[in-house]
Each structure stands twice: as C-alpha cells, then as structure tokens.
Structure 1
Amino acid sequence: MNKSLEKVRQKILSLNEREREIFFSQMRDEFFKEENIDTNKALKQGSNMVINFPNLINEKFTKALLVETGNGNYLVQPEDNCIGLNLRKYGENAIEQIEYLANFISSETKLLIVGAHIGTLTIPLSRIAKLVFAVEANPISYKLLKYNLAINNTKNCKAFNFAANDKPTELEFLLNTQNSGGSKRKPIIQDHMYYYDNPEQISVPAFRLDDVFKNKKFNVVLMDIEGSEYFALKGMQRILSSATVLIVEFLPHHLRNVSGISVDTFLKVLPGFKIMIVPSLRIRAKRKKFSKILTYMFDNNIGDENLIFIK
C-alpha cells in the first residue's frame, strides 16, 4: 500500500466516531475548495451526489459500499439513488413493508421471491421462513445479492440468476443505475421514465419457473419484477396451483408500457385465488370483484407494491 494512504488509514482507525465525522468533514471541505465546488450547494444535494475523494476511492475497483442496518448489512451500488440511497442515508429501507409481509410468513413457510434485487427483503424474511428461493435477473444485483447473503450468514436461501418468463429465451433487458431495482425487460413502449439514466441494454437468460423448479412447492410467492409479472405468472401455473398466498406489485404503467396487457389478461393467470387485499386502499374483496377493483386502479393510475392474493 502507498505510504501516504497507509498513514491516512491508520489515522482513521485511531479516531472515535465523532472524530471521524470531523475528519471526513474537513477532507470534504478541502476537496470542495480544490475543485472549486460551492460547499452549500453541494450539501443541499445531499446523498444524490457521490464524491470520490482523490487517492481514496478508485472507481475502477469500487463497485459497492457496505451499509450496516438494523435488518442486516448490505453492499449497495454507490450510484443507486432509490433503495441504495435509503440505505446509505437512513440506514434502513422498507421497514413497514417488511413488517407487513411478515404477517404472511411463518417458520414453516417455503418462500419464492421473484425479483430479489440485492436482498433487502429477502434477508429479513429469510429469518422467518423455513426456506427461501430468490430469483434475480439483473446480473449486477444478483452478484450483490450473493455477497449480501454471505455477509449476513443466510443459510436457508438459494439465489438464482435468470429472468422469470413464459418461455425460455434470451430477453432484452435494461440495466438501470439510478434505480437498479427498476431494471426490467425492454418495455414495449419506450417511455422516458424507463430510460432517464441511459441504461445499458443487455440480454439475460429467461426461463419458466415451472421448468426451473420442477419438483418444488412454495407456500408463498413474492413477486416484484417491474412489469414482467404477467409473463412470470404465466410460466409458473403449476407452482401457483400449490401456493396459498401470492404477493405481487401492481403498477398500471407497467401493464400498459412494459407488458402491454389488460387487467383481465393479468387476472387470467391467477386461477384459484379467492381473496384479494389491496393494502393501499384498505380493500379486501372476493374473486367476483377483482376485475372491477383492478380496472378502477388501472384507469386511475393507482399502484400497490403489495397486492395480496389468497386461496
């Protein structure tokens, strides 16, 4: 290691928490001064601005930052300004969602999570469930998911890197950076909201979940895959036949722009579910009202991250 860097490292290690805060504030101010950056303006931008201090961070090698939270320790991408920003700035993410989802999981639950991202839901829920299978299509998020499972010593979760689909294929996929959790299959309608951060377009392997998990049964399925839900559900009819609870994100613009389907088409791949809960609207309804409620939500652009279907 460079002698000057080693000297800085040793100094940092010798400081207590308050002294470290003062030390880094001084470094920040010196950096702003050297780069002719307005300090007040930069601080108002907060964590949306990621600053690499000279000689301390090399972008070529720094792919993630480690964050300690009450629900586990996570490696997050420095440029992620959604889940990553919440973790970096507040030390937590989706606490209320985790607590709500826990109501549907027990020590006997075999849980399938489709769209696991970096594990901020997977890891807390794995502490409750008996077994967890986590599927993530984004290869970068999957790599962090694997690291995070190891960091948190999560032994009852198996991770898989592919896109859930209605047929095996190579799927065109957008790698978003500002919101890595928003990475998705290439939308049918290329709206600016999906392309604002100039995502790289790659191909990822896609398979039917019924084919990958041929002999597996899951009590609960949790799905959030940014508009690919219909295709994934269509390719997992056997799995759904034995599941008692399905928790799925419902966003009208995803149905319109990403998958290009109607509410009734969406409901056709959900046979056997008798009760639907819409937490955001505080609605609990029987099957005959599913279409009316979801059509109302679709027409009025009302989404819900945890639409619950129960048998």
Structure 2
Amino acid sequence: MKFVTYFKNLVYQKFPRFIFRCLTNEERVIYKLNKYNFSMLLSLGDNAISRPILVKGEYEQSVTKVLIKYFKPDLHFLDIGANLGYYSLLVASQCPHAKIYSFEPDEKNFHLFTTSILYNQFQNQIQSYGLAVSDQNKNIVISDLGNGANYGARFTGNNAQELRAYVHGENPYYEEIPAVSLDDFLPDIQIDIVKIDIEGYEPFALKGMVNLLKKNRPIIFAEFAPSNLKFFGKIEPPEFLEFFTNLDYTINLIDRQGQVIAYEQNIDQLIQDFGTYQTHHLDLIFLPLLLPLGEKSESNPV
C-alpha cells in the first residue's frame, strides 16, 4: 500500500496529467502528505489546490509554516471556507485532541473533504458543515464564475445577478445555498484560531460572528484581496482592516518565506505596501492586541 501511494506520488510529479491518468485510470486520487502524516482525496482536474499539493506535498507553505507555530494538542479551530479541507486535516493530524469546526458550501469540494475525513478517521475531531457563513441565516448564491478548474475559486453573493458581472470563463454554474450566522449557529463554541478564506465574502461572515470573536479573542488567519473585497464583500479594503483594529487586533503580514511582518494597527502603511507586492492578495494574521507575536497567553495558550 505504501509503495502504491509512493508510486502514484512520484509519477504525478514526473509526468504530465494525461500520462498519470493512463497509469492510474482515475480522475481522483488519495494522496499521502508524508510530511504531516495525513491523506487527501484530490481531483486531477483541479489546477489550484490539488495540483500544488500533488507536486509539493503541502499547500500554501508560508501560511502553513506560521499556523503550525500556534498548534497545541487540544486546539479549537474554526475553518471558514474549508475547500478540500487541507487546513482542517492538517490540524487534526498534528493536534490529537483538537476540536475543529469546518464550513464548506460547495458540494463537490465538500464531498472530497468529507471523504478525506473518513479516510483518515478524523470524525471525532472534525465537525464539517456543508454551509456558507454569512451575517445572518439566509440563502445566498455560490458560483465558480466559469473557472471550474480552480476548486478554490468559489464566489458567493446575495443573488446570481450580482455575480454575473464578474464571470470570467465559460459555462459558469450558480447554486442557491444555505448560509448561517455563527453567532446564531454555534454561539457557545470555544475558538483558539480562525482561518477564513471565502473569496471576498469575509466581511459578511465576520459580521455574523462578532460575539464569538469578542468572547474568544482567537488568532485569525485571513486572505486580504482588495478587489474581491470590493466586488463580493461590498466594502473598501481599509474598512475591512478597521473591523479588526476596532476589535483590538494587530495586523501582521505573512510573506512568501513564511516570515511575519508586524504592521501593528497601521492600516495606511499596509494599503500602501500592497501596491508594491504585485499580487492579487496577501496572507494576514490578526493577533489580539495583548498577545505579542510569538508569545502565548493563559487565556489563549496556542
């Protein structure tokens, strides 16, 4: 079994996808991430998440490097926009007594994710929900905007008409899905770390979990994509950052090497620097004001 897994991993790295298909005769593959000792069900048609994992053996190495520093055996982790489940599975593999709450509304991604949960026998650690997260309990619309080969590019809006303006590929799909406010849906959970990446819809999700954030004061990992925030979050980028500073969080940038650059609460400086990075988004970590970078507190000992 180990040889078969190793063979498939090696073949995918060395040969084009069509050869891999001929050798394995499958569109999906269970891939063992040896570095972290867990497996994922991945799709060979997914260029954005599955392929990097198949080639590199992990995903978003810089964010992973920083996230792991805050792990503890009984970590409470909230994953909003779990996608194929990489971060939730990573936490479960490294934190044996973790409690993980994962939300992924896309049906295809959710199927891959929940299959990986069962394969790794992480059912006792990961509680998965095929739901979107928003500012209130309601139905919203999800779409790939015509980019079906990118399993990470699933966009949400209040209605299909709102999303059609941003279609950038052929045959986009639109699906009405249920969304929940976390303050209503899981009002009593404990949270140490939040990871949120929902393609610009973050302002709505955060608005619906303010009480949880105030009560738990978790560390927050979030993507900062100004164009997505404007289009799908209906908010200007500085306002998004102000949400965190108003809750007494500091802003910190995770660079491509996995180093953390502290901005304190200097929103203007981050906005100015964003223009020099020539990238679509930045990876940020928001720390409670009384939790200096790299230190642990009794109230949040992660």
Distance in 2, Cα, partners of 1:262 & 1:303 = 15
Counterparts of 1:61-140 in structure 2 under 5 Å? 64-70=28-34, 71=36, 72-129=38-95, 130-140=98-108
Residue 183 in structure 1 maps to residue 159 in structure 2? no
1:292 corresponds to: 268
Cα deviations across residues 49-84 of structure 1 (Å, max 9, x unaligned)? Answer: 588659x95xxxx66322222132111123111111
Deviations 1:170-209 (A, max 9, x none): 11111452111111214957576x5325331111111111
Q: Which structure is higher in RCO with an 8 Å CA cutoff and minimum separation 6?
A: 2
Partner of 1:254: 228
Deviations 1:145-190, CA, capped at 9 Å, x for gaps: 1110111121311111111111222111114521111112149575
Tell me, yes or no, if structure 1 residue 153 matches structure 2 residue 121.
yes
Unaligned segments of structure 1, at least 5 residues: 1-12, 25-43
Larger radius of gyration: 1
Q: Equivalents in 2 of 1:297, 1:161: separation in Å?
A: 36
* 2:64 aligned counterpart, secondary structure: helix
Matched, 1:266 2:237: no
Identity %: 20
Contact map agreement 2:197 2:223 (CA 8 A) in 1: yes
Report the CA distance between 1:247 and its aligned residue.
0.9
Paired amino acid for 2:115: Y
1:67·1:88 contact (CA, 8 Å) conserved in 2? yes
Question: What pairs with 1:240-251 in structure 2 (closer than 5 Å)?
Answer: 240-241=213-214, 242-251=216-225
Letter in 1 for 2:263: A
2:298 aligns with none
Instruction: Report the RMSD for the aligned CA atoms in angstroms.
Output: 3.2
Alpha-carbon spacing, 1:304–1:104, altered in 2? closer, same or farther (3 Å): farther
Paired letter, 2:201: S
Change (3 A) 1:89 1:243: same
- Paired residue type of 2:125: N
CA distance in structure 2 between the partners assigned to 1:117 and 1:164 by the alignment: 13
Task: Say which of 232, 236, 245 aligns to 2:209.
Answer: 236
* 1:166 maps to which of 129, 135, 140: 135
Contact kept? 1:221, 1:246, Cα under 8 Å: yes
Distance 1:191 1:123, change over 3 A: same
Q: Equivalents in 1 of 2:137, 2:273: separation in Å?
A: 31
8 Å Cα contact 2:183-2:209 kept in structure 1: yes
How far off is 1:285 after superposition?
2.4
Q: Which has the higher helix share?
A: 1
Correspondence for 2:287: 310
8 Å contact kept, 1:221–1:243: no
Q: TM-score with structure 1 length normalisation?
A: 0.74
Q: CA deviation at 1:99?
A: 2.4
Moved more, 231-240 or 182-191: 182-191
How much has 1:259 moved relative to structure 2?
Answer: 1.8
Change (3 A) 1:91 1:263: closer
Matched length: 266
Where do 5+ consecutive residues of structure 2 fail to align? 289-302
Which residue type is aligned with residue 143 of structure 1? H
Match of 2:187 among 214, 220, 224: 214
SS in structure 2 at match of 1:177:
coil
Counterpart residue identity of residue 263, structure 1: P
What letter corresponds to residue 156 of structure 2 in structure 1?
Answer: R
Question: Are the aligned partners of 1:297 and 1:303 in contact in 2 as well (CA < 8 Å)?
Answer: no
Is 1:46 aligned to residue 16 of structure 2?
yes
Q: Distance in 2 between matches of 1:89 and 1:198?
A: 28
**Distance in structure 2 (CA, Å) of the matches to 1:296 and 1:190:** 30
1:254-299 deviation per Cα after TM superposition (whole angstroms, max 9, x unaligned): 1122223112321343232332211228531222x1x213432555
